[in-house]
Amino acid sequence: MAKALPKRSENYSEWYNEIVKRADLAENSAVRGCMVIKPYGYAIWEKMQRALDDMFKATGHVNAYFPLFVPKSFLEKEEEHAEGFAKECAVVTHYRLKTDGKGGLMVDPNAKLDEELIIRPTSETVIWNTYKNWIQSWRDLPLLINQWCNIVRWEMRTRLFLRTTEFLWQEGHTAHATEQEAVEETERMLGVYATFAEEWIALPVRKGLKSPNERFAGAVETYCIEALMQDGKALQSGTSHFLGQNFAKSFDVKFVNKENEQEFAWATSWGVSTRLMGALIMAHSDDQGLVLPPKLAPIQVVIIPIYKSPEDLATISTKVDPIVEELKAAGISVKYDDSDNQRSGWKFAEYELKGVPVRLGLGMRDIEAGTIEVARRDNLTKESRPIEGLVDHIKQLLDEIQANIYQRALAFREANTFRVDTWDEFKDQIEKGGFLLAHWDGTPETEEKIKDETKATIRCIPLDAPAEDGECVYSGAPSGGRVIFARAY
RNA sequence: CGGGGCGUAGCACAGCCUGGUAGUGCGCUCGCUUUGGGAGCGAGAGGCCGCAAGUUCGAAUCUUGCCGCCCCGACCA
């Protein structure tokens, strides 16, 4: 018997790593900090990409592609941006190798680049350098572009999907004629991310603003969605930045407005990454493995035959084939696993590990009775029901599972969101995890001290927070509303 | 870059302290029996014990150096 997964409650981090590995999502590569996304994991990512891309298109965006390399001089143009990213950049300094005469290779010292190239940690600079040529008049605006690509951030420590040296993401970069339009775009895309998280990943998120400390380097305002994982830690799942005119000024992107005046363009940028895969895994999975929301499952329904002889299998297959066809015709992705190299019990466990939302089991006993076994991954229940009307039932069931895992995650978050009013309560509760709603005096100093003492950061200032007078949980200074504190990934 | 740990079969590990023929489980191959929740029994195949030097009659084991990986911190989506 294969080794059981570590228990979620005992060693969350090991449990997470095992699921990633055993469900065939990804593995560490031989390259430092980089990950190999395996076909099954990539299939889920592709579904995310497709859904997001449709949402971007529906909001007027188009895709394009910009270079991987950022000349150093580009990166240094926006001062805060440069400072924020300087510490985590991979730098290309040479363009050629040569043989060293001992069977190895060495960097050719004669092939030093005049200007170093940074492997993009994000593309604001390359893109705004290009936008300079694309934007002349208010008629060129808004410019609504997205790119799907890889980026590199040289982090000290990495974790599969949550933080890898290289990762996949999309980054939207838009230019607008007015501040208001840009702010609206920033908020619109935050809304798109929240909708995607909730409707597709079944992940409830809190929308909010980052505190100045946590703001994106070079942004005027950073909006984010924050989710709560099952171990009580927060995961920043997407960000949308209002960049003001910072990049337009740095890259001299001016347009002539309707009043015939020169004006700097207003910018936004927004991104989500393969980190969403980490969110998906951590939010829903259990001690049996991954739990996939039906909308993102590469295989929504798996059918497993239970048989003793090849003759039985043939009989079962005759019964299964039309079911497969009907499910496909209904737009449901289905796999009939009639492979003969594993026993049915093994297959049950395997597809549970991989998070397949619905499993159908069909054996000779069912054939005599005209029934089929329907098992749900989300709550691990199963029932025997007539084959009659199966497809409609499954359609409904998939919707129900999607809704159920969302509700479950929401209930978890609500049960782990606490209003905290004293510093003692704060210190006590932060050890147990969860979102802490507390008053904050609005100063970076207080935020920093809280972080030093408890490792908790302000995840966001919620957009829907009601105004509420109170006293800062740390300093006692007056505060106009509660913010969300948590320990974060 | 600091603090800890680990490199032995495809994978997970024991053996090391106290030097003496290379082990276990999973997986793999073959056979028989099984098959409604990760099958059982039997027989096999598979190793430069991370690399290098040293000590010794003899090193997986002791010593030194190097390389690699993991965990914890600093960094961070």
Determine the distance between A403 (CA) and B38 (C1') in angstroms: 30
What pLDDT, in 10s, does the model give residues A267-293? 999 999 999 999 999 999 998 999 999
Chain B positions with a protein C-beta closer than 7 Å? 1, 26, 34-40, 69-77
Nucleotide B9 C1' to residue A277 CA (A): 34
Give me the pLDDT at residue A359, please.
98
> What pLDDT, on a 0 to 100 scale, did the predictor assign at position A1?
40
Q: Does any strand B atom come closer than 7 Å to the Cβ of A363?
A: yes
Non-local CB neighbours of A67 within 8 Å, separated by 6+ positions: A120, A126
b or e along A174-193 (b: 16 or more beta carbons within 10 Å of the residue's beta carbon)?
bbbbeeebbbebbbebbbbb
The gap between A6 CA and B14 C1' (Å) is 22
Residues of chain A with pLDDT under 70: 1-3, 102-103
3-state secondary structure labels for all residues of chain A = CCCCCCCCCCCHHHHHHHHHHHCCCEEECCCCCCEEECHHHHHHHHHHHHHHHHHHHHCCCEECCCCCEEEHHHHCCCHHHHHHHHCCCCEEEECCEEECCCCCEEECHHHEEEEEEEECCCCHHHHHHHHHHHCCEHHHCCEEEEEEEEEECCCCCCECCCECCEEEEEEEEEEECCHHHHHHHHHHHHHHHHHHHHHCCCCCCEEEECCHHHCCCCCCEEEEEEEECCCCCEEEEEEEEEEECHHHHHCCCEEECCCCCEEECEEEEEEEECHHHHHHHHHHCECCECCCCHHHCCCCEEEEEECCCHHHHHHHHHHHHHHHHHHHHCCCCEEECCCCCCCHHHHHHHHHHCCCCEEEEEEHHHHHHCEEEEEECCCCCEEEEECCCHHHHHHHHHHHHHHHHHHHHHHHHHHCEEECCCHHHHHHHHHHCCEEEEECCCCHHHHHHHHHHHCCEEEEEECCCCCCCEECCCCCCEECCEEEEECEC
**Who among residues 97-136 of A has its Cβ near strand B, under 7 Å?**
none
Whole-number distance in Å between A422 CA and B9 C1': 58
Q: Which of A175, A172, A171, A170 is nearest to A131 (CA)?
A: A175
Q: Could you check: is the Cβ of residue A275 within 7 Å of any atom of nucleic acid strand B?
A: yes
Neighbour order of strands in the sheet with A301-306: A334-336, A301-306, A358-363, A371-376, A382-386
Q: Are A223 and A209 in contact (CB under 8 A)?
A: yes
**Gap from A338 CA to B32 C1', Å:** 24
Nucleotide nearest to A304 (CA to C1'): B36
Nearest DNA or RNA nucleotide to A316 (CA to C1')? B36
Q: Give the C-alpha separation, A180 to A184, whole Å.
A: 6
ipTM of the complex in this document: 0.81
Nucleotide nearest to A288 (CA to C1'): B38
- The identity of residue A340, as a single letter, is D
Instruction: Pick out the nucleotide with least CA–C1' distance to A350.
Output: B38
Position A357, amino acid = P
> How big is the CA angle at A69 (ends A65 and A72), to the nearest 5 degrees?
135
Rounded to two decimals, what is the model's pTM? Answer: 0.94
Q: Are A170 and A154 in contact (CB under 8 A)?
A: no
A306 touches strand B (CB under 7 A): yes
- Kindly report, residue by residue over A210-266, the tens digit of the pLDDT: 999 899 999 999 999 999 999 899 999 999 999 999 999 999 999 999 999 999 999
Instruction: From the CA of A386 to the C1' of B50: give the distance in Å.
Output: 59
Nucleotide nearest to A13 (CA to C1'): B71
Q: Which of residues 207-246 of A touch strand B (CB under 7 A)?
A: 214, 216, 236, 239
Does nucleic acid strand B have an atom less than 7 angstroms from the CB of A374?
no
Q: String of b and e for A348-361 (b: at least 16 CB within 10 Å)?
A: bbbbbbbbbbbbbb
Please tell me the predicted confidence (pLDDT) of residue A87: 85
CA of A9 to C1' of B71 (A): 19
Cβ(A469)–Cβ(A480) below 8 Å: yes
